[in-house]
Structure 1
Amino acid sequence: MTESPLPATALRADLSIDQHVALKTAATRLQREFDGTFGVETIERFLHSSYEQFAGRATIVNFLPLLAERFARQRLQALAKVEGLHHTGTPTVLFLCTHNAGRSQMALGLFTHLAGEHAIAWSGGSEPGDEINPAAVEAMAEIGIDITGEYPKPWTEEILKAADVIVTMGCGDACPVYPGRRYEDWDLPDPAGLDVAAIRPIRAEIETRVRALLAELDVPTA
């Protein structure tokens, strides 16, 4: 291999050369973004542990380094907030459900669309699925919101600690409880297995609840 040596943490027997290079490139980008906030070892540890979160259930392995980079970035942003290294005062809301494939993804899409840069939204699942519910994607596209770039993912401790509000949707006893967080439980039907027509009322209810939450947080909406 002619490229410069990869860090020891990136030398994994289960990865192809292309994946090694992609992870090295991702690590370099994250190091630039978080320069002065976190060291190389922390960044690489989060990147590789994020990779592990998706490796066992990915259907297209070529996307794994990109997913790992995106998730690691979110986790590092959360850690920076938790450790008081970066805090803008922008409220952060975490939407949780079981598979992070339907309800929580629709809530994330609506919240982000309505709040813009005035608030931050994340999502996660207790048992992340393999893909976002295609009917949920279609239902959101009907109202001009594209969630095709999202992906089912777990929640992690730093993300839970960084959230100001945690909204749960059907994850039951698996939903985490952290002291000092505001919790809301939204009792909504699971859109799994439903067609777009049946999902529209769920989408409408989610939008109503998201708008109410934004108003309570005093966040201006689009």
Structure 2
Amino acid sequence: MEEKKSTILVVDDEERIRKLLTMYLEREKYLIDEAADGETALQMALNKDYDLIILDLMLPGMDGIEVCEKLRESKATPVIMLTAKGEEANRVQGFEVGTDDYIVKPFSPREVVLRVKALLRRASKTKFLETEPTTKNVIVFPHLTIDHDAHRVKVDNHEVDLTPKEYDLLYYLAQNPDKVFSREDLLKDVWNYEFFGDLRTVDTHVKRLREKLNRVSENAAKMIVTVWGVGYKIEAENQA
């Protein structure tokens, strides 16, 4: 059976950049759609289930931050943000609203392809594993199960749809139950990103994680504990 091709939405108001990215990505057998503004991109992203979106930060009308923020209200589609040098604060804001990765302009198209492949690998759900009797890399709590091989999170036997970065954060905490991680630690180890800016990136993702878990199980949401003045941890025993 032929492998399903990943679909990618490329959003940039510069046609030259869109065509360059499209050319390189189509060489890798990806299916590409394009959008030149935020409003169009958002409607396309809401109406079609893309595997990944490459989103320019500075767009006419609705910018990349607003597009990502509105998208995250209903979808967990992986997003790579394109930013210009000197837009550090905007990149932080991008992480806060749910961006999974960013690439600084000017960029190497080959680097973009590598980042796309890496993010798609993290976001993919290997369905064939559903037929396997056991999987080795599974973390099990009373109300929460993380199957890392299948990149799948279940809460009380209901699958929860997370963005790649939300998943990375949950999995990182779950690997070390009851260990407290500072926001700086989490930025460095989960985001692979060090800066002296706003640490709300972590807070926002924790809040979003709790909200998604809480839709299924309040007990699962309560597992993510804030240790005031320090950071966050997963508390395995904090369940009914």
Q: Shorter chain as normaliser: what TM range?
A: 0.3 to 0.5
- Structure with the bigger RCO (C-alpha within 8 Å, sep 6+) is 1
Q: When the two structures are superposed, what TM-score results if normalisation uses the length of structure 1?
A: 0.33
Q: When the two structures are superposed, what TM-score results if normalisation uses the length of structure 2?
A: 0.31
Q: Which has the higher helix share?
A: 1
Q: Which has the higher strand share?
A: 2
